Amino acid sequence: MVLEELEKEILALCADDDTELWLIIKRISKDSYSFTTIPETDRQKTMTVLRRLLENNIVNAGFLQGSNFEILSLSVDETIAYIEAEWDKLGKTPNMGDICWFRATPKGEKLAHELDLI
C-alpha cells in the first residue's frame, strides 16, 4: 500500500502513541484548525483519511478504558458513521477526550517502522 504524506503523518502519530481524534483533525486542518469549527473540506478530508487507514487495517478506532485500549467492534462504515454522528452531536470540532482514539494495528506499526516514521 502506498500512503500519501498526510496518511504517513497520521500513522506516525498512531504508531507512536494512542492518538485522540482532535489531534488528527488538527494535523489535517493545520492553519484552519479551531476548537469551535473547521472548514467542511477539512472534516471531509479527515473522514477520508481515517476511512482509508481503517479499511487497510493500519489503525483501529477505540476508547481508552484505564490503561487498556478497547477497539470499537464496528465495521469501517459503522465506525465512520459513528464518528460523524458524534461529531454532529458535539456541534463543534472535537476536543480532548471527545468521540474516540486511534492506535496503529500490528500491520500499521510494521509499516511505520518500514517507512522510518517512528
The pLDDT tens digits for 29-77 are 987 778 788 889 999 999 999 999 999 999 999 999 888 999 999 999 9
Per-residue pLDDT, averaged over 10-31, amounts to 94
**Per-residue model confidence (pLDDT) at position 2:** 86
Residue 1: pLDDT over 80: no
User: Who contacts 90 (Cβ-Cβ below 8 Å, separation ≥6)?
Assistant: 98, 99
Which percentage of the chain shows pLDDT scores above 90?
86
Which percentage of the chain shows pLDDT scores above 70?
100
Residue 13: pLDDT over 90: yes
Residue 25: pLDDT over 90: yes
Mark 19-56 as b/e (b = at least 16 C-beta within 10 Å): bbbbbbbbbbbeeebeeeebeeebbebbbebbebbbeb
| Contact present, 118 and 16 (Cβ < 8 Å) | yes
- Taken in order of first residue, the domains within the chain and their CATH numbers are 5-114 (1.10.10)
**Per-residue model confidence (pLDDT) at position 75:** 97
